[in-house]
């Protein structure tokens, strides 16, 4: 379902609307505002942490001006700050391939901070994270929500720390089982 | 205006990333070139050391070796990015599929095609090709190898994620390579026997323009099917 939402899969009927416009007809607008982190992290193992983050930031550089409530701190500053928070600052110039699974996951989560977009789609972001990392993610999500961002998270664990608005619990048959406010 | 500027920046950023990755892993950079040199140098040993005969088979040998070498080099450009989720990420970041295919084709050509073109004079000399033959061999490979990269990219996008993609890729793409092979090697043959070769080169150029225009879009459609 998440993949359909991101326009990666066309195996569905109906329309997906973003800002009252169909995602298909309004592709670029949707993608400019969305950051999707899935099971595959999309990091190049041969490139360093800094190179990977800078590349994805560079792709969005032209569009980032659109988002209103972004502080004007430069990319380098934000990258160093978030990597320090995630305690992987020491690996800045290390090829991603040499990092552990949890460290790689944290590098991909750092993109949430280095690329300030409105809509986060996180598919199982807690995988391979330790309690410290989970706490950081919950805090980041809360800050994001407070500053007016949107968030879509799927998880097998119960996420207690995020002040979520709605929770959908899916049963085996993929129909909506329960909605809690 | 600003939009096309942004598109160009993205294309450059994509190509630069591909090149950096290739440079990091020398094997991907060196193998196709080594393959090209080894295959061509086997022919004098297997067929004949006679200089006249060698000059006769040189155009075909050069072109077949270049074709196989490009085919071999394509895999690393797409498969790894697909498995790591890089392609998905690019699409979700709003990069057009055609842009990805074009960037990867260009990077593939810069990393594998161009070194082949640059070593061609040496191989041509070993095969006793005359100066005019060598010159046209370089020119025809310079025009022809980008076509191979572009067409190969379509095949690569179609076979992404398949377990035995390599064999299928060869089956899919080789028929499309044949026109390039025919015009490329016949241009060299014509040049080395003193005939007019401009027709073959013009056709190669036409193929290059055609594949530059169409391959990115065909590849993009194929990529979306593979990722779905």
Q: Which of B130, B147, B140 is nearest to B208 (CA)?
A: B147
Q: What is the pLDDT of residue B26?
A: 77
Q: Are A69 and A118 in contact (CB under 8 A)?
A: no
| A32:B228 CB<8 A | no
Q: Which of A35-44, A142-151, B114-123 has the highest mean pLDDT?
A: B114-123
Check residue A33 and give its pLDDT: 76
Which of A34-48, A145-159, A162-176, B113-127 has the largest mean confidence? B113-127
Predicted local distance difference test score (pLDDT) of residue B10: 80
According to DSSP, the residues that pair with A69 across neighbouring strands are none
Q: Is the pLDDT of residue A21 over 70?
A: no
Q: What whole-number distance in Å separates Cα of residue B59 and Cα of residue B65?
A: 10
Q: Flag whether pLDDT at A106 surpasses 60.
A: yes
Residue identified by tokens 């194929």 is B222
Q: What is the pLDDT of residue A72?
A: 56
Q: Which residues of A touch B84 (CB under 8 A)?
A: 40-45
The stretches in chain B having pLDDT less than 70 are 1-6
Selecting from A38, A47, A60 the residue whose C-beta is nearest the C-beta of B88 gives: A38
Distance CA B7, CA B13 (A): 10
Residue position matching structure tokens 């099971």: A39
Q: What is the pLDDT of residue B123?
A: 93
Residue of B nearest to A61 (CA): B6
Q: Is the pLDDT of residue A80 over 90?
A: no
* The pLDDT of residue A181: 35
Over residues B59-73, the pLDDT tens digits come to 999 999 999 999 888
Give the residue with greater pLDDT, B221 vs A17. B221
B92 and A34 within 8 Å at the Cβ level: the answer is yes
**All domains in chain A, ordered by first residue:** 33-180 (3.40.50.300)
Q: Among residues of chain A, what percentage have pLDDT more than 70?
A: 65
**What sign results for the dihedral spanned by CA atoms B139, B141, B146, B151?**
positive
Report the alpha-carbon distance of residue A8 to residue B97 in Å, rounded. Answer: 11
Q: Choosing among B19, B21, B24, which should be mutated to test the A contact, i.e. which has the most A CBs within 10 A?
A: B24
Residue A35's beta-bridge partner residues?
A120
pLDDT, tens digit, 9 for 90 and up, residues B58-112: 999 999 999 999 988 888 888 888 888 888 888 887 788 888 899 999 999 998 9
Instruction: Name the minimum distance, in Å, from the CA of A89 to any CA of chain B.
Output: 22
Say yes or no for a CB contact (<8 Å) between A59 and B13: yes
Question: Locate tokens 């990115």: which residue?
Answer: B216
Q: Which two tokens stand for residue A79?
A: 């990258």
Q: Which 3 state secondary structure label does DSSP give B166?
A: helix
For range A105-133, the mean pLDDT: 81
Confidence band of A175 (pLDDT split at 50, 70, 90): very low
> What ipTM score was computed for the predicted complex, to two decimals?
0.75
CB A157 within 8 A of CB A72: no
pLDDT attached to residue A177: 40
How far is it, in rounded angstroms, from Cα B103 to Cα A139?
Answer: 38
Using left for φ > 0, alpha for ψ between -120 and 50, and beta otherwise, residue A28 falls in alpha
Q: Residue B57 CB: number of other CB atoms within 10 A? A: 16
């Amino acid at each position: 379902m998440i993949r359909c939402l991101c326009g990666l899969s066309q195996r569905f009927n109906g329309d997906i609307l973003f800002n009252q416009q169909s995602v298909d007809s309004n592709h670029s607008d949707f993608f400019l505002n969305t950051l999707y982190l899935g099971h595959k992290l999309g990091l190049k193992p041969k490139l360093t942490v800094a190179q990977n983050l800078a590349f994805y930031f560079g792709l969005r550089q032209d569009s980032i001006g659109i988002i209103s409530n972004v502080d004007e701190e430069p990319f380098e500053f934000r990258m160093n700050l978030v990597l320090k928070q995630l305690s992987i600052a020491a690996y800045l110039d290390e090829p991603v391939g040499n990092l552990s699974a949890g460290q790689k996951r944290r590098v991909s989560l750092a993109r949430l901070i280095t690329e300030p977009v409105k809509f986060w789609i996180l598919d199982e972001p807690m995988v391979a994270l330790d309690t410290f990392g989970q706490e950081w993610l919950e805090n980041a999500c809360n800050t994001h929500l407070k500053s007016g961002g949107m968030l879509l998270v799927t998880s097998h664990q119960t996420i207690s720390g995020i002040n979520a608005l709605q929770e959908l619990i899916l049963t085996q048959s993929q129909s909506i089982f329960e909605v809690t406010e | 205006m600003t939009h096309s500027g942004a598109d160009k920046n993205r294309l450059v950023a994509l190509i630069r990333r591909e090149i950096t990755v290739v440079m990091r892993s020398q094997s991907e950079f060196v193998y196709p070139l080594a393959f090209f040199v080894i295959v061509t140098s086997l022919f004098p040993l297997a067929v004949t050391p006679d200089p006249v005969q060698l000059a006769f088979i040189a155009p075909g040998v050069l072109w077949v070796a270049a074709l196989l070498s490009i085919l071999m080099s394509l895999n690393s450009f797409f498969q790894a990015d697909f498995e790591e989720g890089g392609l998905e990420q690019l699409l979700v970041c709003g990069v057009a599929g055609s842009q990805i295919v074009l960037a990867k084709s260009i990077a593939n050509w810069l990393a594998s095609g161009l070194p082949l073109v640059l070593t061609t004079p040496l191989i041509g000399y070993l095969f006793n090709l005359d100066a005019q033959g060598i010159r046209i061999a370089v020119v025809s490979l310079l025009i022809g190898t980008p076509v191979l990269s572009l067409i190969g990219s379509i095949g690569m996008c179609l076979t992404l994620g398949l377990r035995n993609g390599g064999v299928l890729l060869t089956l899919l793409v080789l028929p499309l390579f044949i026109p390039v092979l025919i015009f490329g090697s016949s241009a060299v043959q014509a040049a080395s026997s003193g005939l007019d070769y401009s027709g073959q080169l013009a056709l190669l150029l036409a193929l290059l323009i055609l594949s530059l225009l169409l391959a990115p879009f065909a590849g993009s459609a194929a990529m979306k099917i593979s990722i779905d």
